[in-house]
Amino acid sequence: MIAMNSETQVDVSCCETPVRREDLTVHELDDEALIFDADSSDTHRLNTTACFIWRLCDGVHEVENITSEMTEAYDVSPEEAVQHVRRMLAEFREHRLLRVVPHGFSLGEHDSVY
């Protein structure tokens, strides 16, 4: 299961825009999700918090926006939200579930940034 983990390496900039990989199979049930990556044959289970963050990895929300949304949706301070979001995005990147686009960079149809 992908969940908040205090040991996850955090290296996500607040000015990056995370984008879910379009080739993943995602099944949501209630506030959780199962993600299947056909390339690696891995299945990932997202808990409620991870699923909330995942939904906002839409190529529109920058890390800063996701953090603000989390602060509004959950009873956490902005500092806690920043830590949670960065940690979760680092896990998503580690499992190659998303692309992170640097601020001001536009992805073309065949571009790939992890």
* φ, ψ for residue 63, nearest 5 deg: -55, -40
pLDDT of residue 102: 65
CATH number, position 73 = 3.90.930.60
In a domain, residue 114? The reply is no
| Residues 26-51 as b or e (16 or more Cβ within 10 Å = b) | beeeeeebebebeeeeeebebeebbb
pLDDT of residue 111: 46
Counting the structural domains of the chain, the total is 1
> Do 46 and 1 touch, CB atoms closer than 8 A?
yes
> Do 104 and 111 touch, CB atoms closer than 8 A?
no
In terms of residue numbers, what domain contains 34?
Answer: 16-98
pLDDT digits (tens, 9 = 90+) for 57-67: 999 999 999 99
pLDDT of residue 4: 44
In a domain, residue 104? The reply is no
> Do 31 and 53 touch, CB atoms closer than 8 A?
no
Q: Which residue is associated with the tokens 């960065």? A: 86
In a domain, residue 38? The reply is yes
Nearest to residue 100, comparing CAs of 8, 2, 15? 15
Q: Please report which confidence band the pLDDT of residue 99 belongs to, taking 50, 70 and 90 as the band edges.
A: confident
In a domain, residue 23? The reply is yes
In a domain, residue 9? The reply is no
Residues 6+ apart with CB under 8 A from 91: 2, 5, 8, 50
pLDDT digits (tens, 9 = 90+) for 4-55: 444 444 444 556 789 999 999 999 999 999 999 999 999 999 999 999 999 9
pLDDT of residue 7: 45
Mean pLDDT across the chain, nearest whole number?
Answer: 82
